[in-house]
Structure formats: C-alpha cells, structure tokens
Amino acid sequence: MPHRPLLTALIPLLLLAACGTTEAPAAAPSSSPATTGPITVTDGRGKEVTLPGPAQRVVSLEWNTTEDVITLGVQPTGVADIKGYTSWVTAAPITGNPIDVGTRNEPSLESVAEVEPDLIIGIVGSVPEAAMEQMEKIAPVVLLTGADASRPVELLKENFNTTARLLGKEAEAEAVLADLDAAIAAGKQQITDAGKAGTPFSLSYIYAEGNSFSLRMHGPGSAAIALASGIGLEPAWTEAGDAGWGLSTLDLEGLTKLPAGTEFGYWGNADTPDPLADLAGNKLWESLDFVKGDRVHRLGVGIWVYGGPASAKQWIADVTGAIAK
C-alpha cells in the first residue's frame, strides 16, 4: 500500500504511538441500516465493488478502517492485528470478540474465511497481490486509498463516508463528521482566544539509538499537521515529504531550521519509552529554541494520528490543550 515503505520504517516504533489523555469520542449510535438493496462503491484501486445490501459481518485489515467501522456502530467480526490496534487506537475501542485475522501486511486467508464475512475492507496494499484472487472468492473486497498529502483531511472524510455507505450508516456518518467540524471550529476559537493563532507547530517521531537520533517529521500534507492548521496553527516544518503521508526524515541538527517560537510536538505511546530521557544532556538538543523555551510537548499518547474522524477529534483536543494552555 502507498504508505507501507515509509510507515514500515516507522511502524516498529510507530506501531507504538498515540498522544493525549483526552476523552475518546463515543462511537456513533448503532441503528438498523436504512439502506436496502445493492450498494456500489468505487474503491482506491478504481475498482467498482457491489454488495447485495449493507454489510453486517465485516473483516477489517487496517487500523483506520477498523476505527471507522466501529465509530459507525458496527463491531467487526475479524480484525488484523488486534493487539496493535488496542495499543494504538483508543478512539473506537473493540467491544466485541472478533477473530484476529493476522498482520496488516499479510492477513491470513484461512482466518478471514473462518469469519464468513460479507465485506473485507482495508487500504490499498492490505492484501498482497498474490492473495487477492483468493481473498475476493471469500467476500467482496474494498480497498481504500490510505493517504494523499494533497488532501489529507478531505480523504479522511471521503473514506469514512465510503465505509458508511457500505454499512448502510450514512446518517451516522453525517453526525460524526459534523461533530468533527464542530471540534475543529471550537479548537480554532480556543487557539485564537489564547493568542496562539499563527504559532508555528511541528510534530515528529523521535528514534533514539544510543547517542544517535533521527526524526520522522510530519509535513503540511500529513493529516496531523493539516488538522493543526485547521485550528489556526502554522506548519513549522514545511518540507512536503512523501506524496502519501507527508513524512520526511531529519537528523537532530535539522531541528535548528525550525522557526523561532515553534511549539515542538513529539509523538509517543504509553507503552514506549519517552525519548526525551535519551536526549537529556545532549548539548545540541538543549540549545534548541523550543527546548530552552519549554515548548516541547509529548502528544498523541493513545491517538492514532493516521486514523479516522474519531482519532482526529482526539488529536485536535490534545493539540489545543497543549498549545492553548
């Protein structure tokens, strides 16, 4: 899938991460699907996929699709990497008893078939090409576009609406997205009221190996920074990064390029070490403007910043709380 080359490097550590102890948004209330009859969507492969009716037994192969399905009030019957999802995604908890269908890179055909799904959903690349023919014999497969740095928030909403259509949950999706828009507007007002509108903001994931450090920087086209821009902050790191996720790699010295007044966010997770412990005493780190100014924030604990609208709402509250304090 488009993000695998970058996120694979990220994920051993990033499969770790998420910020903020903000309250998780409630899933959309479950109701009987209003849609009846066949449902046709065009997925991220450009392939038209038709279901005979709203899906009820869903296998989800990616964390963001799992989050969206649950947010819409449906508990999947099969989920890839349940343990990882539970660690990284708190916005939409699994409350059912799904079968773990393997890894996100390589789902188990046998486990997926055991679930007897009426829909298999993931992102482009979730199913290895060699397994696609067999997977499509089990149930209709819809693979959404994972990321697009030219329109990250728009794609997030588009994927959520597509998932809602497949589940017959369009009304629930409308309510969730309206709630997200309201959260963005409220966050922007808080930032403005705090006198922080236009403040440079950056987000990175810090890799520490002994005395060597590298950072995965989130550029303007990443969903996390695009949402921060939506509440009135300015991207401090302006390099575009990759075409999908808006990510690029930087060494510690590169942080000297961040503008004065930057609020520096770094992504962490509750069950991973805080890299600031490794940076203690590092002269270059301690000379940085945002370090000396005490503008360093551990963000995204328990928040999957590559997730759907539920995680996005958590992220907005987390960033707002850190910057507008």
What SS3 state is found at 41?
strand
**Smallest Cα–Cα separation from 72: which of 31, 36, 41?**
31
* Euclidean distance between CA atoms 115 and 99, whole angstroms: 7
- Strands (DSSP E) along 139-187, which ranges? 141-144
Interatomic CA distance for residues 301 and 90, integer angstroms:
9
3-state secondary structure of 219: coil
The partner residues of 51 in beta bridges, in order of sequence, read 39
pLDDT of 122: 98
Are 141 and 127 within 8 A, CB to CB? yes
| Domain spanning 193-323: CATH superfamily | Nitrogenase molybdenum iron protein domain (3.40.50.1980)
Average of per-residue pLDDT values in the chain: 90
Residue 177 scores a pLDDT above 60: yes
CA distances from 240 to 159, 214, 218, 224, 243 (A): 23, 18, 9, 13, 8
Q: In CATH terms, are 26-178 and 193-323 the same topology?
A: yes
> What's the pTM?
0.89
**pLDDT confidence of residue 34:** 54
Task: Classify domain 26-178 at the CATH topology level.
Answer: Rossmann fold (3.40.50)
Domain boundaries defined on the chain: 26-178, 193-323
The token pair at 236 is 């401090």
Ranking 18-22, 138-142, 305-309 by mean pLDDT, the lowest is 18-22
Q: What is the mean pLDDT of residues 153-172?
A: 98
pLDDT at 85 over 80: yes
> Which tens digits make up the pLDDT trace of 200-258?
999 999 998 878 899 999 999 999 999 999 999 999 999 999 999 999 999 999 999 99
Over 60: is that where the pLDDT of 1 sits? no
For the sheet containing 78-79, what is the strand order?
A: 99-100, 78-79, 58-60, 119-123, 141-144
Provide the pLDDT for residue 31.
Answer: 47
